[in-house]
């Protein structure tokens, strides 16, 4: 069956993002899983057990909204696709999900150190907070239960001791948020090495949040958490 121009474009973008994540060290081996919501009933996603650094458009799998492959004779989707499906179910405004294991950001969760310190204006504006969902066994329903409260209101979050989950209006938007999360982690790591981060003030955070609409950003931001962090009162 011939594929629509929209599906072909989605396949090209998803394969490119998968390879970029591998090239930039956000995943290793066969790690990571990525998806695009083609329409209400079809998800395009990466297959199980395939190195994303070597993936091509033909390798990608289409499933329905419940994760059942359209063609059971082709490769199976990732066992972690259920995370993506939960995000699509809870968020009508997103069309792509990226799950990767960026080293420094994951290291923060292993160390139990917050990534939500308001340190970089671009992070406050584009993502806001970067919460950490409770630890859950990968590829199980525990993960879905652990992320649901955060997915409802956040575009980027960390899974404790596991990885990052980023949501976007398209696959590039989700990928850029992943890059922003790792950039925040790298910057905070350097700041900790130099004596500790100096957060933006409560007034500076409030000013940044006021200009978010200029960039067309509408995702909800936990203002109370950010301002508490700016005042040094957050966890």
Q: Among all chains, which residue has been given the structure tokens 């699509």?
A: 88
CA distance 162 to 116: 17
Convert the pLDDT of each residue in 145-200 to its tens digit. 999 999 998 899 999 999 999 999 999 999 999 999 999 999 999 999 999 999 99
pTM, rounded to two decimals: 0.92
> Domains of the chain (ranges plus CATH)?
5-230 (3.40.225.10)
Task: Find, among 214, 178, 138, the residue nearest to 34 by Cα.
Answer: 178
100 three-state secondary structure: strand
Q: Per residue in 63-90, pLDDT tens?
A: 999 999 998 788 899 999 999 999 999 9
CB-based contacts of 77: which residues, under 8 Å, 6+ apart? 33, 45, 46, 47, 48, 61, 63, 67, 69
The residue among 96 and 208 whose pLDDT is bigger is 96
**Token pair of 144 as six digits:** 């879905």
Quick one: pLDDT at residue 193?
97
DSSP symbols for 92-112: TT--EEEEE--HHHHHHHHHT
Q: Tell me, what's the pLDDT at 126? A: 87
Determine how β-strand 132-133 pairs with β-strand 42-45.
Answer: unpaired
The confidence score (pLDDT) of residue 226 equals 67
Average pLDDT rounded to a whole number, residues 1-18: 93
């Amino acid at each position: 069956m011939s594929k629509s121009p929209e599906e072909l474009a989605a396949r090209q973008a998803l394969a490119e993002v998968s390879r970029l994540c591998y090239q930039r060290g956000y995943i290793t081996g066969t790690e990571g899983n990525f998806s695009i919501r083609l329409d209400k009933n079809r998800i395009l996603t990466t297959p199980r057990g395939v190195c994303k650094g070597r993936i091509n458009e033909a390798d990608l799998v289409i499933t329905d909204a419940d994760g059942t492959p359209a063609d059971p004779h082709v490769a199976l989707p990732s066992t972690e696709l259920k995370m993506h499906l939960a995000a699509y179910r809870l968020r009508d405004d997103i069309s792509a999900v990226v799950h990767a294991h960026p080293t420094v950001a994951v290291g923060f969760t292993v160390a139990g150190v917050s990534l939500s310190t308001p340190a970089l204006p671009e992070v406050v504006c584009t993502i806001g907070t970067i919460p950490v969902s409770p630890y859950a066994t990968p590829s199980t329903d525990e993960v879905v239960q652990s992320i649901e409260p955060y997915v409802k209101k956040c575009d980027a979050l960390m899974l404790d001791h596991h990885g990052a989950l980023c949501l976007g209006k398209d696959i590039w938007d989700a990928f850029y948020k992943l890059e922003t999360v790792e950039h925040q982690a790298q910057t905070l790591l350097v700041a900790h090495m130099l004596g500790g981060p100096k957060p933006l003030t409560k007034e500076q955070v409030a000013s940044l949040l006021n200009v978010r609409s200029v960039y067309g950003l509408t995702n909800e931001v936990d203002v109370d958490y950010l301002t508490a962090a700016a005042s040094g009162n957050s966890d």
